[in-house]
Structure 1
């Protein structure tokens, strides 16, 4: 489907929200996942595709170097009656394909869009743990909003510099780790999670949503394994990899280094 940019909002100097909708929204069917995501389609020069394409046909008839570039983004919220939705982009200069396009985009511009996908919503639990970086803010924020008012838990979010207001139940602590301009440390989130005051029996009472930089997630997984968090109450994956462009990151998902 092809969607039109309706509004552009800078939430922080590096976090940009595009609100999109238009006639193409009629083909969009949202799901109940708090990690609901879409795929944006781009030509190889980084320009957005504006005409509908048949990806199955393209993959079957063209070599892979001629396929459109796809970039996956969490949908922050959907307003079906207003026929619009919001997508947040982490922007750092000219790096990448989708983020520079979003930074330069203006209301009225079009983008080809597919989806949505998604698989996670916070299950019933005595304690909810959310862990991630800027790339996971949309999904974490959506998850926090869905929790009951009496929910208990902790959200740890790592950012480069700027925090923002995120609604959350009073019983959930929202904590920011500001990394600053120093060298990236993939162990910062794991160090903080280890220091948390965990419930006495986490395998029976804790749900975990952990997404962000790949190596940071790899360091978190053993912590959750040691605490025997069951699969049905654990969602963990890498959204990106430090020092890798998106295409390399996606290719590595099929190799040992890409596993979280």
Structure 2
């Protein structure tokens, strides 16, 4: 199984909320499986200053070899890489949609997205079934008595695809922290879905979502929980669910997408490494 590596070109930029840009890309190549399952992870490669498009890692027969190929690119040419969730694929085309959270002109992805225009080119690595969980989300959700999805605005693209994949009859809850009321988005689902929007309104990212769990009365029965967003908040919520609510660790799928006051280029903390080890052990 090889990991797809391709160039993509911007064809449309839309502001779906004041702080979220949905950018549609045309991919030069795109496997048929892309966009057919929820929560598909990918990496975008951004060009170095002065370059129109990034240098991409050479394709490898070894599915894990792409990163070594990426590191083999001379540092002065090596693209900046950031992780995203595929928001959608337009049926019958090679057009994919990716949402960018515009949280200030501070990082390479946000800086690029604020200025993105048709014709701009990036590189895309993935998505690939190589990184899919062994138990598909819909299957895990169907085996539970109820489902909870919790995260911040960076988790919204994944949450939207996940709730859309839920079948009828599933009881599902989504708790989503966003900057303010203007950042709400419509979520479509066949499940019995209740959405709770939590407005940060200037509070520390992750704090409002974390506080929402304090003293909450959860539904009876065995849940399946999906958590993503700011790493510290995800860690705290997961610990609370396991230690205070008795939720089984194997019933929680969790990912720290980003870290408050740290970037993806900063070294992982001891807690980050522990989370990664436990997550990989669960997979």
TM range (shorter): 0.7 to 0.9
Verify the 8 A CA contact 2:10 2:23 in the aligned structure 1: yes
SS for the counterpart of 1:25 is coil
Partner of 1:179: 200
- From the superposition, tell whether residues 26 and 217 of structure 1 become closer, same or farther in structure 2 (CA, over 3 Å): closer
Partner of 1:200: 220
- Out of 49, 56, 68, the position equivalent to 2:53 is 49
Taking the TM superposition and a 5 Å limit, the aligned residue runs for 1:58-97 are 58-60=70-72, 62=74, 67-97=78-108
- From the superposition, tell whether residues 186 and 52 of structure 1 become closer, same or farther in structure 2 (CA, over 3 Å): closer
- Residue 155 of structure 2 is aligned to residue 142 of structure 1: no
- From the superposition, tell whether residues 196 and 50 of structure 1 become closer, same or farther in structure 2 (CA, over 3 Å): same
Verify the 8 A CA contact 2:42 2:86 in the aligned structure 1: yes
- Out of 253, 258, 262, the position equivalent to 1:240 is 258
Partner Cα distance (1:16, 1:45) in 2: 22
- Out of 14, 21, 30, the position equivalent to 1:9 is 14
**Superposition deviation, residue 140 in structure 1:** 0.5
Count of residues in correspondence between the two structures: 250
- TM-score, normalising length: structure 2: 0.79
Superimposed CA distance per residue, residues 93-149 of structure 1 (whole angstroms, 9 cap, x where no aligned partner):
311111221221111221111101442523222201000000000000111111112
- From the superposition, tell whether residues 58 and 82 of structure 1 become closer, same or farther in structure 2 (CA, over 3 Å): closer
**Superposition deviation, residue 170 in structure 1:** 6.0
- From the superposition, tell whether residues 213 and 26 of structure 1 become closer, same or farther in structure 2 (CA, over 3 Å): closer
* Backbone CA RMSD of aligned residues: 2.5
Verify the 8 A CA contact 1:21 1:84 in the aligned structure 2: yes
Verify the 8 A CA contact 2:43 2:81 in the aligned structure 1: yes
Partner of 1:132: 151
Verify the 8 A CA contact 2:35 2:86 in the aligned structure 1: no
Verify the 8 A CA contact 1:151 1:171 in the aligned structure 2: yes
SS for the counterpart of 1:116 is coil
Partner Cα distance (2:50, 2:232) in 1: 27
Q: Following superposition, which runs of at least 4 residues in structure 1 exceed 6 angstroms of deviation?
A: none
Partner of 2:122: 111
Partner of 2:230: 213
Verify the 8 A CA contact 1:46 1:98 in the aligned structure 2: no
- Residue 271 of structure 2 is aligned to residue 257 of structure 1: yes
The runs of 5 or more residues in structure 2 that have no matched partner are: 1-5, 59-65, 276-283
SS for the counterpart of 1:94 is coil
- From the superposition, tell whether residues 196 and 171 of structure 1 become closer, same or farther in structure 2 (CA, over 3 Å): farther
Superimposed CA distance per residue, residues 53-92 of structure 1 (whole angstroms, 9 cap, x where no aligned partner):
32533524756x7642210100011234122111000002
Partner Cα distance (1:142, 1:110) in 2: 25
Partner Cα distance (2:23, 2:157) in 1: 12
